[in-house]
Amino acid sequence: MRYKNWLVVAILLFLAGMMLGLITPDSFVSLLAKDIAALQDLSRTLAALPPLTTAILIFAKNASALLASFAFSPLLLLLPILALTTNGWLLGWVSATILQKNSVLLLLAGILPHGIIEIPAFVIGEAAALGFGSLVILSLFKKDVRSQVLPRFKTHVKYLLLALALLIPAAFIEAFVTPLLIKGA
């Protein structure tokens, strides 16, 4: 399958996770209370740091997640699939939660400035991981596919590098611009 097709698969997985997040009942979320509290603590810690440090940490976290997903994708594509659906779920759930208690303006201020770059970057990188992982898995069973691994690996790495490059401005926007817009909302 070509990269374009994996991009569609990645988008669909992310959207499926997002839809699940939007309809997740509060009773299920209460099971995750400790994890949610840990995320809130991390968010408060990042907010207390200088914006440059925050931007570097956000980029490092996002980049390491994409790189790990790419590296471990040959293990039945589990990490890219989990990353796409979980991140989609989290975005959907956070959006639904914010909209229950706050305005659409706050939601847009908190997600749109950096998300308009970060979400496509994430999907591009995860599509590269899906494509690479599936190719490696297929090459284990089909000898004629083995000759395609290196050339297509290079293609997938180019998309991964594009995704990593896009995560840089997204991290800076998230650290410098998004907090100002949230305060104004």
Query: What pLDDT digit, counting tens, does each position of 126-171 carry?
Result: 999 999 999 999 999 999 999 999 999 999 999 999 999 999 999 9
- State the average pLDDT over residues 50-54: 96
Query: What pLDDT digit, counting tens, does each position of 54-109 carry?
Result: 999 999 999 999 999 999 999 999 999 999 999 999 999 999 989 988 999 999 99
DSSP state of 73: T
pLDDT at 178: 94
Q: Is the pLDDT of residue 31 over 80?
A: no
Q: Long-range contact list for 100-107, CB < 8 A, 24+ apart?
A: 103/185, 105/185, 106/182, 106/185
Domain limits, the chain: 3-184
pLDDT at 38: 80
Say what the pTM is. Answer: 0.92
Q: Would you state the torsion angle of the CA atoms of residues 43, 161, 108, 178, taken in this order, to the nearest 10 degrees?
A: 50
